[in-house]
Chains A and B, each alone.
Chain A
């Protein structure tokens, strides 16, 4: 970021995650996805500010529901991170402690979150981490095994909500598929998963629903099947993203995403949008799953 102006990295993000589903949050890198994730975990840098609510719980009637944005650090570290929300990090190698074996890291996390003094094998097993690699250090693991080790750590506290931030960046396609399938298994076991990714193929493979972010705003939320299949995305940006895939038209969206500190007035996508018109000079609200003045209808 340049200078010391206040920059809105995420604006007006509203969405609901249902128990036992996977919501994929997709968008180009730098669009604000990770800022949103960090906000939920109270991991934003000290100079960051947030407004709004992020309710964790089963609904408005839930007495134990907690506003993550209002919670203090002590609450977050003692009752939320690892226990109610498990974080599967972007680069597992960097997240694991380099000087300690996978077993010792699992043991410490187990003791901290569950009070147990054993269970490393079972914890490793849940993320398909091979027991005979438990005594290895992170640098002795392949990218795929490091990812599983990080996933095993995230699962120790049996947190109902899992948050995966770009868990497949830089992995080979085969490894992407394996990682994604392992995460999906957690969802099928009843976990709720928010997966942040710019990899559309990975999102298509795992998600029940998709939220598309552009310039810090959620511009479309849709059922994954309808989004990746028929009738396809309704927001012009989301359509452009899918059309850029090599298995589709392989045509880029013209131009580049705007700087978050220097957004155009009105719809931020307008300078790149083939459907832009006068109405687009005002910011379109998210209505019926799409924030656009001229969304594609099933007929268009």
Chain B
């Protein structure tokens, strides 16, 4: 289970972009998180994937409370996540050939020996040809690069996947293809999924359930209403 409780997070002190948000994904479940752009859903997704430390709140991963984010997270927790972002060009090292891009997490965790087999498997799953694997990001299309980024996210066999607007830049066929790769992987491994996006049709079709941003922040809104009511009472006195 992946559990976020009362998360407040942001980029500047005292200016949170996420306030008191809560969200739970059960083991093996797929949850779509739907919201307009700029609402803070990517920030929350990064907190969930242990990439951004929240200012307040707790994250519990498979029963273990999370105590550190980014390099402070224990490797076992960090590698439990595979993450795919919206803009493949911003999340791919431009110097790496696609083969090395996919294998990078294996190298970083001292499992280089597994690379040839694992890359071959994932290239087949994501539809990347041997020729494409030898190219660098600027020599492939957005769709091809996103296939490689998805393969990279799966290379360590994560128990959790976080896909943040993974298909927002892609055409319908590439979108359906990448979602199918994610779902095949989940069927095979039982991994849970948090899919962030702004297209209700896509998320409803893809995920077991879809939550709206305002539901995630409901607690906070309820509190605000109480505060407003309290101050109105105050003013009437």
Q: Which residues of A contact B (CB under 8 A)?
A: 2, 27-30, 143, 169-174, 198, 200, 240-242, 244-247, 250-253, 255-256
Contact = CB atoms under 8 A, between A and B. Distances in A.
Nearest to B177: A252
Contacts of B127: 255-256
A32 to B, nearest CB: 12
Given A246-B201, A246-B206, A247-B201, A29 B141 contact: yes
15 contacts: A29-B141, A29-B171, A198-B171, A200-B172, A244-B172, A244-B173, A244-B175, A246-B201, A247-B205, A250-B176, A250-B179, A251-B180, A253-B177, A256-B143, A256-B144
A172 B36 contact: yes
B200 interface: yes
Main SS at interface, chain A:
loop
B202 interface: yes
A173 B197 CA distance: 10
A29 B142 contact: yes
A29 B143 contact: yes
B130 interface: no
Nearest to B198: A172
A49 B101 CA distance: 36
B222 to A, nearest CB: 25
B37 interface: yes
The contact size tier of chain B is 20 to 34
Contact of B173 (A2, A28, A170): A28
B202 A252 contact: no
Nearest to B129: A256
A252 B180 contact: yes
B202 A246 contact: yes
A169 B143 CA distance: 14
Contacts of B198: 172-173
A170 B168 contact: yes
Contact of A253 (B170, B173, B204, B205): B173
Nearest to A28: B171
Interface of B: 36-37, 127, 139, 141-144, 168-177, 179-180, 198-202, 204-206
Nearest to A237: B173
Nearest to B35: A172
Contacts of B37: 143, 171-172
Given A173-B201, A244-B171, A244-B173, 12 more contacts: A28-B143, A29-B141, A29-B142, A30-B141, A30-B143, A170-B169, A200-B172, A244-B175, A252-B176, A253-B173, A253-B177, A256-B143
Given A2-B139, A29-B143, A255-B127, A169 B169 contact: yes
B169 A28 contact: no
Contacts of B180: 251-252
B174 A252 contact: yes
Contacts of A29: 141-143, 170-171
A241 B143 contact: no
A173 B199 contact: yes
A103 B128 CA distance: 48
Contacts of B142: 29
A255 B174 CA distance: 9
Contacts of B171: 27-29, 198, 241, 244
Nearest to B143: A29
Looking at B127, B174, B200, B205, the one whose CB has the most chain A CB atoms below 10 A away is: B174
Nearest to A256: B127
A252 B147 CA distance: 13
Contacts of A241: 171-173
The 7 closest A-B pairs by CB, nearest first: A252-B177, A252-B176, A246-B205, A244-B172, A244-B176, A244-B173, A198-B171
Looking at A143, A170, A246, the one whose CB has the most chain B CB atoms below 10 A away is: A246
B50 to A, nearest CB: 27
Contact of B176 (A2, A169, A170, A246): A246
A240 B200 contact: no
Contacts of B36: 172, 174
Looking at A171, A172, A240, the one whose CB has the most chain B CB atoms below 10 A away is: A172
Contacts of B143: 28-30, 256
Looking at B180, B198, B200, the one whose CB has the most chain A CB atoms below 10 A away is: B198
Contacts of B144: 256
B195 to A, nearest CB: 12
A256 B170 CA distance: 13
A181 to B, nearest CB: 18
